[in-house]
Amino acid sequence: MNDPTRGMPVMKEMNHKSIEELGFPQVVQQIQKFCLSEEGVSFLQAMEFTSEHADLFERQQRIGALLQVLDAPGAPQLSSFPSVQASVEILSIPTQQLEGGMLIELAAYIDAAEDMRRLLYLCTEDGKTFLVLHQLMEEHIHAALIDLGGHIHAVLDESGQVRESHPALSSLRKQMESLKGERARFCGQFITKHRDAMQADQEALRDGRLVLPVRSDRRSFVQGFISSTSSSGNTVFMEPYALVELNNSVVIAQNQILIEIAKILKQLNDEARSVLKLLIRLSEQIGQSDAYYALARWAQQYDCSASDLQVQRCNLVKATHPLLGKKAIPISISLDEQIKAVVISGPNAGGKTVTMKTVGLFALLNQFCGYLPAQEGSSLPLFDAIFTDIGDEQSIEEQLSTFSGHMKQVGYIVRTMTNRSLVILDELGSGTDPVEGSAIARAILEYCLKHAELTLITSHHGVLKQFAYAKQEVINASMEFNEQSHLPTFRVIQGLPGESHALDTARLMKVPKEVVDRAKQYLGSEAVQIGSIIKDLESKRRALEQEEKAMHDRYLSLQQEVKRQQLKELQLKQREHALRDEQNTALFRFMREKRKELENLVSDLKQGELDATKTKQVKTYIKSLETKVEEEQTQLEAQQEALEQFERVDPKQLAVGTEVLCGSARRLGTILKQEGRQRFLVQVGSMRMTLKADQMTLAKKQDEPTVSVMYHSSAPEPKICLDVRGRTLEEALKALDEQIESALVHGMSTFSIIHGYGDGILSKGIGEYLKHHQRVQDYRFALPEDGGMGKTYVML
Q: Per-residue pLDDT for 399 more than 50?
A: no
Does the pLDDT value for residue 487 go beyond 90? no
CATH class entry, domain 307-523: alpha beta
Residue type, 157: D
Where in the chain are the domains?
33-142+275-301, 167-252, 307-523, 546-643, 651-698, 721-795
For 58-109, what is each residue's pLDDT tens digit? Answer: 999 999 999 999 988 888 889 999 999 999 999 999 999 999 999 999 999 9
What share of the chain has pLDDT > 70, as a percent? 78
Q: CB within 8 A of 783, min separation 6: which ones? A: 570, 573, 574, 577
Residue 201 has what pLDDT? 87
Dihedrals phi, psi of 422, to nearest 5 degrees: -105, 125
- Give me the pLDDT at residue 317, please: 92
| Structural contact between residues 169 and 261, judged by C-beta atoms closer than 8 angstroms | yes
Over residues 234-254, the mean pLDDT reads 92
**pLDDT, mean of residues 630-644:** 63
Give Cα separations from 678 to 654, 656, 658, 684, 755 (angstroms): 10, 13, 15, 18, 37
β-strands 331-334, 315-319 pairing: antiparallel
- pLDDT reading at 252 higher than 90: yes
Q: What are phi and psi of 65, to 5 degrees?
A: -65, -40
Span 231-254, mean pLDDT? 91
Looking at per-residue pLDDT, the higher value among 397 and 580 belongs to 580
Q: Does the structure show a pLDDT above 90 at 600?
A: no
List all residues 6 or more positions away from 430 whose beta carbon is below 8 Å from its beta carbon.
402, 403, 406, 437, 459, 460
Q: Reduced to 3 states, what is the DSSP secondary structure of residue 11?
A: strand
679/523: higher pLDDT? 679
Supply the pLDDT for residue 720.
Answer: 83
209-215, strands of its sheet edge to edge: 204-206, 209-215, 235-240, 224-229
Which phi and psi angles does 403 have, rounded to 5°?
A: -65, -45
How does residue 7 score in pLDDT terms, banded at 50, 70 and 90? very low
Band (pLDDT 50/70/90 cuts) for residue 609 is low
Give the model's pLDDT for residue 645.
45
Strands 209-215 and 454-458: unpaired
Predicted pLDDT at 579: 65
Span 528-538, mean pLDDT? Answer: 51
401-410, 445-454, 531-540, 610-619: least confidently modelled range: 531-540
Is pLDDT at 523 greater than 60 in this prediction?
no
Give residue 379's pLDDT: 94
3-state SS string for 452-502 = CCEEEEECCCHHHHHHHHHCCCEEEEEEEEECCCCEEEEEEEECCCCCCCH
Q: In which region does residue 318 sit, left (phi positive, over 0), alpha (psi from -120 to 50) or beta (all else)? A: left
Residue 375, pLDDT score? 94
Predicted confidence (pLDDT) at residue 4 exceeds the cutoff of 50:
no
pLDDT for 8 equals 44
**Of residues 675 and 341, more confidently modeled:** 341
Mean of pLDDT over the chain: 81
Q: CA-to-CA distance for 71 and 63, rounded, in angstroms?
A: 13
Per-residue pLDDT at 403 exceeds 50: yes
Convert 240-268 into a string of H (helix), E (strand) and C (coil). Answer: EHHHHHHHHHHHHHHHHHHHHHHHHHHHH
Rounded Cα–Cα distance for residues 672 and 695 (Å): 16
- Who's near 543: CB < 8 A, 6+ residues apart? none
Q: Could you tell me which CATH class the domain 651-698 is placed in?
A: mainly beta
The whole-angstrom separation of Cα 81 and Cα 287 is 10
Answer with the residue of higher pLDDT: 678 or 443. Answer: 443
| The three-state (H, E, C) secondary structure of 671-682, written as one string | EEEECCCCEEEE
The alpha helices in 72-166, defined as continuous H runs, are 85-91, 100-120, 131-134, 143-155
β-strand partners of 212: 238
pLDDT band at 164 (very low <50, low <70, confident <90, very high): confident
Q: What is the pLDDT of residue 482?
A: 58
The pLDDT of residue 499 is above 90: no
Fold of 167-252: MutS, DNA mismatch repair protein; Chain A, domain 3 (1.10.1420)
Fold of 721-795: Ribosomal Protein S8; Chain: A, domain 1 (3.30.1370)
Q: Give the mean pLDDT of 681-700.
A: 78
- Mean pLDDT comparison of 7-21, 366-380, 609-623, highest-scoring range: 366-380
State the pLDDT at residue 214. Answer: 92
pLDDT in tens, 460-474: 777 787 787 778 898
State what percent of residues in the chain have pLDDT above 90: 37
Choice between 627 and 505, residue whose per-residue pLDDT is larger: 627
Angle between helices 612-643 and 525-606 (to 10 degrees): 170
At 48, the amino acid letter reads E
Task: Give the model confidence (pLDDT) of 20-51 as tens digits.
Answer: 989 999 999 999 999 999 999 999 999 999 98
- Give the separation between CA 420 and CA 383, rounded to whole angstroms: 5
Secondary structure string (H, E, C) spanning 365-395: HHCCCCEECCCCCCECCCCCEEEEECCCCCE
Q: Tell me the pLDDT tens digit for each residue of 289-321.
A: 999 999 999 999 999 999 999 988 999 999 999
Residue 538 to residue 528: CA distance in whole angstroms: 15
Q: What is the per-residue pLDDT for 394?
A: 41
Distance CA 293, CA 67 (A): 9
pLDDT digits (tens, 9 = 90+) for 320-339: 999 988 878 888 999 988 99
